[in-house]
Amino acid sequence: MIEEEESAAAEAKPLAEANLVTEGQSNPFDIQVNKNSILTIVICSIISVVFLRAGFLSFFFLAPLGLAVLLTGSFVLTFITAAAANFALTFFMYSGDMEARDSLWMTLLFYSVIFFGFSWIMGGKNIRTIYRFVISSIAGAIFFMILINRSDSVFFDVFEKISAQMFEETVNAQELIQTSKNILLRGGAVVSMLFLFFINRHVALSVFGMIKRQRKSGGLISFFAPPNTIWIFLGALSTIVAASSFKAEILEIMAWNVFVIFGIIFMVQGFGILMYLVSRKSTGFRAALYILFTVTMISPAGTIAAAAVLILGVVENWVPIRIRMSARFK
């Protein structure tokens, strides 16, 4: 799910340094002061906070920030501007409701963490993108769980009402809520954050590519899991089994989150292998395979297909499939 498209971002940074940073100006904390860069960041931040409150578009509220980072090269200034804009708009909207304002601080903190994490994913340096994804997703998941489990949170109340309307009397709403909490605690919240960051990063990179007319790199085809992470993955799986046997719930929850995070990494590696294997086929053949795979993933057989892709990604740790295939075609 995490696409390694470093080339577009890497090419954007020299562009920002050449065009948007005032000549001779120092660059403390990545903050670049220039009329063009500031205007770009302000506009993108306003679009982001508007998207956040715009129904379906709220799913893509981070994409404008990603575009701002790519165009200016400054993730710190982008984060500061977006967080400030969100604070200002939120308190303006709830200025007459003191009770609502009292309960907004945790929500504002949560979105500030999300803004910073995504901006860092888009423009951070010295740390591999996959690690920035993981760290930001864990931080976002922690604050999300704190937010929805507060005494003044209405998240599960709304969830219960929606569940009651959808399933009527066929499903116990309280049992469904408890199941949802268990899933969120055992990696569901982290996966949600990973998916949110991935989709918005992909949109930002796509828009940037259209603006600058730059083609993306190999993407998933060139993605490889970090070295030795297979042992963390297998260790987490062993810990889940052991913790379940000894009823150590806290340890089990922690192990599940580690297992899910690294499972996604190896699933991405598996997707990279599949894309590599079909990359030499005709466009029509590739399109047909992608359609078939998508249909399979959303069908009842989707779980089996996802497990197969995960296993394929794990296997490449001992059988370098892409390297061997490359040697064959040379």
What pLDDT is stored for residue 275 in this prediction? 84
What pLDDT is stored for residue 45 in this prediction? 95
* Model confidence band, residue 96 (pLDDT cutoffs 50, 70, 90): low
Calpha distance 51→115 (Å, rounded): 13
User: Residues 102, 142, 148, CA angle at the centre, nearest 5°?
Assistant: 45
* Model confidence band, residue 139 (pLDDT cutoffs 50, 70, 90): very high
Percentage of the chain exceeding pLDDT 90 = 43
In this structure, are residues 7 and 221 in contact, taking their beta carbons and an 8 Å threshold? no
Mean pLDDT of all residues in 96-117: 79
Tens-place pLDDT, residues 143-182: 999 988 887 777 777 777 776 677 666 667 778 788 888 9
Asked if the model's pLDDT at residue 30 lies above 90, the reply is: no
What pLDDT is stored for residue 64 in this prediction? 96
Mean pLDDT of all residues in 49-53: 92
Calpha distance 145→137 (Å, rounded): 12
pTM comes to: 0.80
Helix (H, G, I), strand (E, B) or coil at 172: coil
Burial of 141 (0-12, 13-18, 19+ CB in 10 A): buried
In this structure, are residues 102 and 80 in contact, taking their beta carbons and an 8 Å threshold? no
What pLDDT is stored for residue 98 in this prediction? 53
What tokens were used for 241?
């089994």
* Range in 38-42, 114-118, 271-275, 311-315 with the lowest mean pLDDT: 271-275
What pLDDT is stored for residue 311 in this prediction? 93
In this structure, are residues 36 and 73 in contact, taking their beta carbons and an 8 Å threshold? no
Average pLDDT, the chain: 82
What pLDDT is stored for residue 25 in this prediction? 42
Asked if the model's pLDDT at residue 290 lies above 60, the reply is: yes
What pLDDT is stored for residue 265 in this prediction? 93
Asked if the model's pLDDT at residue 137 lies above 80, the reply is: yes
Q: Looking up tokens 């306003």, which residue turns up?
A: 46
What pLDDT is stored for residue 11 in this prediction? 46
* Model confidence band, residue 288 (pLDDT cutoffs 50, 70, 90): confident
What pLDDT is stored for residue 20 in this prediction? 38
Could you tell me which residue, 10 or 165, shows the higher pLDDT? 165
Could you tell me which residue, 153 or 45, shows the higher pLDDT? 45
Tens-place pLDDT, residues 193-248: 999 999 999 999 989 988 887 655 556 788 888 888 999 999 999 999 999 999 89
How distant, in Å, are the alpha carbons of 144, 146, 159, 295, 314 from that of 178? 16, 16, 11, 30, 32
Q: Looking up tokens 């969120």, which residue turns up?
A: 184
What pLDDT is stored for residue 140 in this prediction? 96
What pLDDT is stored for residue 35 in this prediction? 84
